[in-house]
Amino acid sequence: MRGIFKGGLVATALLAGVGAWAQQPDKPGMTASLVEPEKNGARGAATVAVKVSGVTLTDPATVNEVPKPGQAHLHYQIDDGPVVATTAPKLSFHGLNPGEHKVVVMLAANDHSPLGPQETLKVRVTQSGSK
């Protein structure tokens, strides 16, 4: 009877361990899309909406820019302009000249290194946004 009991404990412990290994943290994920691209393009603007998964958007300044699993922020860049680092999941660019523009959105760690997910969106502006 004792041998059966010990075997049951070992099997239970092994199965519990398998469950712990199977529950890995979510990988950082991100999707980006343009909001009303025709309407915004007609007024010289572009708005980007981003959804993230597997991370919490965190201001890197609040954690001394020290990377921590599960924390990230977004980098936005239009054409070859400056990179905007923010936790904002929606960002608008105004004053764009007519023509094609490229918006790059990237998920970044607290030290601003890339976490992998990145999307490039093409924007067509039909009217000048400058007055």
pLDDT for 2 equals 52
Q: How far apart are CA 129 and CA 131, in angstroms?
A: 7
Q: What confidence score (pLDDT) does residue 62 get?
A: 96
Low-confidence ranges of the chain (pLDDT < 50): 5-24
- Hey, what domains does the chain have and what are their CATH numbers? 25-125 (2.60.40.10)
What is the rounded end-to-end Cα distance, in angstroms, of the chain?
Answer: 88
Q: Give the per-residue pLDDT at 5.
A: 44
